[in-house]
A and B are shown apart, each in its own frame.
Chain A
Amino acid sequence: MRKTALDCVYKLAKIDERVVFVGSDLGPGVLDKMKTEFPQRFFMEGVSEQYIVGMAAGLAMEGFIPYVNTIATFLTRRCYEQVAVDLCIHDLPVRLIANGGGGVYAPLGPTHLAIEDIAIMRALPNMAVVAPCDADEMNRLMMSTLEWPHPIYIRLGKGGDKIVSEEKNGFELGKLILMRSGTDGMFVTTGVMTQLALETAEVLKIDGVNVGVVHMHTIKPFDAAGVISAIENVKAVVTVEEHIVNGGLGSALLETCSDLRPELLPKIVRVGIPDKFATEYGSQNSLLKHWGITSDTLVGAMMKKLGG
């Protein structure tokens, strides 16, 4: 997914002279093609996220579209004021490409685990928050970003993820995709958790439970009308996110229903990362298990809500 995102920056740079790339001491060889062909629009800066966000703002003020890339925690926690003031108050078209959403960097511990990034980015006016489910969707998202006039936070999964998105569904920022329809229950998901939800829906089907999957690649702006339409006629809704349960996708759905359709609230349950920093290392999968985000727990949550 990350490789696709960066390849897209190169593709975008080829078709639009406004596109610049800003990295913060990334690994060797990153975007070498862009560096070679467009050296003046390739900036590999130091370990200095406060500065690079401000610098990107300055470039955007003059008409450029900066794509800024580094590890998600550094692009959110480290420079939150710069993101808020320089990008969001000025409402500039800077794109933050954040590596390692959720448990991707499991072996590296809690300093590198972006567990609350969606919550804090979503709290900022003017910021869009997007989490594609696979590399194909990342490609569609990235190629649609040139004309969005506001800042965008793009959350990346691990990479090498199974492709579950479909070309025919396209990609429109702020518009959810119904990946699978269902009559009993609905998983509302974002990012790579859509893959887990689709697998789980197949498991439930074996038991005769008809569950759909709504993929909300865009958490902000939130597709309120779309999601309400998708969940209003099912009996149970489980939100699934590789993110802390406070402030993420599940919270956004609860807020939306509380404001617009409070009678839907009782059938919603959230599955996500508990409100604590990770205490284990291992792998992304082992952390997900530790956090209770597995197909088994999704089945359990759904069946409990369905009264099964």
Chain B
Amino acid sequence: MPMDDRSKLLRRYVIDAMRGGGRGHLGSSMSMIEILRVLYDSVLKYDAKNPESTDRDRFVLSKGHGCLALYAILADKGFLPISELESFCRPTSRLGGHPERGKVPGVEASTGALGHGLPIAVGLALAMRLQKRSSRVFVLTGDGEINEGSNWEAGMAASKHKLSNLTVMVDYNKLQSYGKTSEVLDLEPLVDKFKSFGFVTHEVDGHDVAALEEIFKKLPFSDSAPSAIICHTIKGKGFPFAEGNPEWHHKSGMTETDIQQMYDCL
């Protein structure tokens, strides 16, 4: 499926940041561009000018290494200036190699160490319920990330507490740092795993904007259970040399030639 102009624009923002920092998790960010695009364009309730408004929906990027995509959408939505993207990873920048709460407007939790987002999100969802708020909580995990057992501890608890205000999305690009998830630590049958942990679970093409919008419209999938969406994606989506190539999980020491090669893809 060809990318439209909006998906290309958001990817361009990611490259702007990578050019500024000379590094970044390209593959991990590009697989989640459309998920974030649809979330922020059509699903989440927020006010970029008042990022801490109490009635906002909470989005936790658990796979913090995908922060370039988050910074791109937050800049696009006005949480921060687009021109700030090029400060990525510089000494006094707000935009680090992993996102930090309190530094970056719109970032709910400091993540980077994996397996932290879902437990925190369960706490947030419980808080919303205790405070009788209609705000929803969304958390995006990586696929390699859910090797961490803490996700499954939290998953059992989300189900126990019947957190219908909680949605977990898995960016299932099938590649983790070393190689294929099927070889490093196979997650299959992933849908059945989430179902068995009590999540009402659906799958979607994580790059198909219309399909993502459609599936998000169906939330919550249940009034008495948490929801899970397995988003099938391509690591490095949009960049032929990076797609499905674990070498592009993270790049540092990038040259102008590398950067230009990336712009040329869009």
Chain A residues close to B by CB (< 8 Å): 20, 40-41, 43, 45-46, 48, 50-64, 81-82, 85-86, 89-90
Contact = CB atoms under 8 A, between A and B. Distances in A.
Contacts of A45: 157
Nearest to B108: A61
A107 B120 CA distance: 35
Give the 5 A-B residue pairs with the shortest CB-CB distance, closest first: A58-B123, A54-B119, A62-B127, A51-B153, A48-B153
Interface string B122-166: 111111101100000000000000000110011011001000000
Interface stretch (B4-12, B40-48, B109-117, B181-189): B109-117
Nearest to A66: B123
B110 A85 contact: yes
A61 B117 CA distance: 13
A82 B124 contact: no
A45 B155 CA distance: 12
Nearest to B150: A50
A81 B113 contact: yes
Nearest to B115: A50
Question: Secondary structure at chain B's binding surface: helix, strand, loop or mixed?
Answer: helix
11 contacts: A45-B157, A46-B156, A46-B160, A48-B153, A48-B157, A51-B153, A58-B120, A58-B123, A59-B130, A90-B102, A90-B110
B150 A46 contact: no
A50 B144 CA distance: 18
Nearest to A50: B150
B110 A54 contact: no
Contacts of B120: 54-55, 57-58, 61, 86
Contacts of B128: 62
Contacts of B154: 48, 51, 54-55
A58 B127 contact: yes
A85 B112 CA distance: 9
Contacts of A51: 119, 122, 150, 153-154, 157
Given A45-B157, A54-B116, A59 B123 contact: yes
- By size class, the interface of chain B is 20 to 34
Given A48-B156, A48-B157, A50-B153, A55 B110 contact: no
B127 A59 contact: yes
A45 B122 CA distance: 12
A53 B119 CA distance: 8
A307 B127 CA distance: 60
B49 interface: no
B121 interface: yes
A62 B124 contact: yes
Interface of B: 100-102, 108-110, 112-113, 115-116, 118-128, 130-131, 149-150, 153-154, 156-157, 160
Contacts of A40: 130
A86 B124 contact: no
A61 B124 contact: yes
Contacts of A81: 113, 116
Contact of A85 (B108, B116, B157, B160): B116
A61 B123 contact: yes
Given A59-B130, A61-B101, 10 more contacts: A46-B160, A51-B150, A51-B153, A52-B119, A55-B123, A62-B124, A63-B127, A81-B113, A86-B116, A90-B110
Contacts of A58: 119-127
A62 B122 contact: no
B128 to A, nearest CB: 7
A86 B157 contact: no
Interface centre among A46, A53, A89 (most CB of B within 10 A): A89
A86 B153 contact: no
Contacts of A63: 127, 131
Contacts of A89: 100, 110
Nearest to B151: A51
Contacts of B121: 58
A81 B108 CA distance: 18
Nearest to B135: A62
A82 B110 contact: no
Nearest to A22: B123
Nearest to B149: A50
B122 to A, nearest CB: 5
A55 B116 contact: no
Interface centre among B116, B118, B121 (most CB of A within 10 A): B116
A89 B121 CA distance: 17
Contacts of B115: 50
B130 A64 contact: yes
Given A51-B122, A54-B119, A90-B109, A64 B153 contact: no
A301 B100 CA distance: 48
Contacts of B102: 90
Contacts of B156: 46, 48
A90 B113 CA distance: 13
